[in-house]
Structure 1
């Protein structure tokens, strides 16, 4: 009987720890401090010269990117045709093409085909 109670307690503790590990809170990129401040040209050249080193340095980190808007729609902006920024909210009237801007977001990867760095959870800084 005593062994069953101990096993049950260990099982309940394991379930609680597992649940808390799997269902962690999402990161709030907007409130995080950016680890790097960089231009769109610099981060793209970093990925094209040495992708492995750039992924180790930038992947899943919060950065600030400065550049000129080349494309814009309701939920995304492309800077200098090199950095694609995905927003969670509508940005329809907040930006104009060919204006300079700084954006903070999380690096999620590099698209070899389009030669673009991809960011998500972005926010406009100026």
Structure 2
């Protein structure tokens, strides 16, 4: 019985380690340096969301996990996020203090998904492109 308990404890520890490292890889393994990465697409908020509403599967294949530059007007700002034209949510690591509501900006970020229920496109690792 003592040997069985040791094996069970060892298996639980191994499974726990795989779970821990798997979680960290999924949550933090996709971080890239977008400041040096080539921009795949330069679009406006209206054009990219139009593609997602027309054919979400095709747009996902085209844009998902790609670096894009999006031009739009800041309609809201809270914490480390800004919202462009009420439909594109950009998450910043450190938000630029010069960002002001109703300002037209170009933002570079990674497309992480489109919420068709809310009609919102989500980007992470965003930063402002100085025009």
Specify the TM-score bucket, using the shorter chain as the normaliser. Answer: 0.7 to 0.9
Counterpart position of 2:112: 108
1:31 deviates by 1.6
| 1:64 aligned partner | 69
Which residue is equivalent to 2:82? 77
- The equivalent residue for 2:100 is 96
Gapped regions of structure 1 (runs ≥ 5): 1-21
Moved over 6 A (4+): 22-25
Kept after mapping to 2: 8 A contact 1:109/1:119: yes
CA distance in 2, matches of 1:26, 1:63: 15
Aligned to 2:42: 37
Aligned to 1:118: 122
TM-fit CA distance, 1:53: 0.3
Task: Give the number of equivalent residue pairs.
Answer: 104
Q: Deviations 1:71-99 (Å, cap 9, x if unpaired)? A: 012201100011100001133x2211111
Structure 2 SS opposite 1:89: coil
Does the 8 A contact of 1:85 with 1:118 survive in 2?
yes
* TM-score, scaled relative to structure 2: 0.74
Once residues 79 and 57 of structure 2 are traced to their aligned partners in structure 1, the CA distance between those partners, rounded to angstroms, is: 32
The CA RMSD over aligned residues, in Å, is: 1.7
Any stretches of 5+ residues in structure 2 without a counterpart?
A: 1-24
